[in-house]
Amino acid sequence: MESNPILEYLPLYIVLVFSICVHETLHAYAADRCGDPTARFLGRITLNPLPHIDPIGTVLLPLAAMVFGAPILIGWAKPVPVNPRNFRNYRRDDIIVSLSGIAGNFSLAIAAALLFRVVALLPLSGVIPVLLILRWLMRINVVLGVFNLIPLPPLDGSHVLLHFLPLDLAARYRRIAPFSFLILLILLGTGILWALLEIPMAIIDALAGL
């Protein structure tokens, strides 16, 4: 009987959706704490995936990756709406909100790695599926964290970089936004993106004892 690739990827997809929901929930929570309740009013401070689903990033892209047997799934959710005019300190709070989702992904990866090390010591054959899920949590969250750190608008890393650029240079920098997707495809196709992942992947594997 021929296997169904989508069913085989289903646990991995659940891990991906959970991870991107954590990312967006932390953006929404950080914005609320910094004085902007917009995302809270829209019900975005939740791990329920329904308010976060983006038709392309949460559904179509991961589905295509499953069908074509991609080595790892990647995706995104709807961006959390933020009104920076509500921030108490615009520069500081925009940086905090931008980095909150990334910090959440890296924290998840570290927690999963440390838990992997503990669970791997248990003499039970039934822990193998748990170890597999923890390893996916590690890897997917490292990918999401590094991906969002890339300083290309509108990724989170670009919001941080903008605050350290002179005003005239920042205005020019914003103009590359229409080309960001093409640049990301080039980074992916040339292997540069995977090279950026090598060191953080090695660190998280070492934490897990792999």
Average of per-residue pLDDT across 34-50:
95
* Domain extent at residue 90: 5-208
pLDDT digits (tens, 9 = 90+) for 14-27: 999 999 999 999 99
The secondary structure of 30-78 as a DSSP string is HHHHTT--HHHHTT-SSS-SGGG--IIIIIIHHHHHHHTT-SS-----P
Burial 55-79 (b: 16+ CB within 10 A, else e): eebbeebbeebbeeeeeebbbbbbe
The pTM of the whole model exceeds 0.75: yes
Q: Provide the token pair at 209.
A: 């004892």
Active site residues: 24
Q: pLDDT digits over 66-124, tens only? A: 777 766 677 789 999 999 999 999 999 999 999 999 999 999 999 999 999 999 888 87
Sorting pLDDT into bands at 50, 70 and 90, what band is 35?
Answer: very high
- Residues 62 and 4: their CA atoms lie apart, in Å, by 15
What is the pLDDT, as a whole number, of residue 1? 47
Q: Note the pLDDT of residue 76.
A: 84
The pLDDT mean for the chain works out to 88
* CA torsion angle 116 120 124 126 (round to 10): 40
Report pLDDT digits (tens) over 162-197.
999 898 898 888 888 888 888 888 887 788 888 888
CA atoms of 100 and 18, how far apart (whole Å):
16
Is the predicted pLDDT of residue 50 greater than 80, yes or no? yes
Q: Report pLDDT for 4.
A: 61
Of 1-10, 29-38, 50-59, 163-172, give the lowest mean pLDDT range. Answer: 1-10
Domain count for the chain, please give it: 1
pLDDT at 125: 65
Write down the pLDDT at residue 6.
Answer: 64
Q: Please give the pLDDT value at position 118.
A: 92
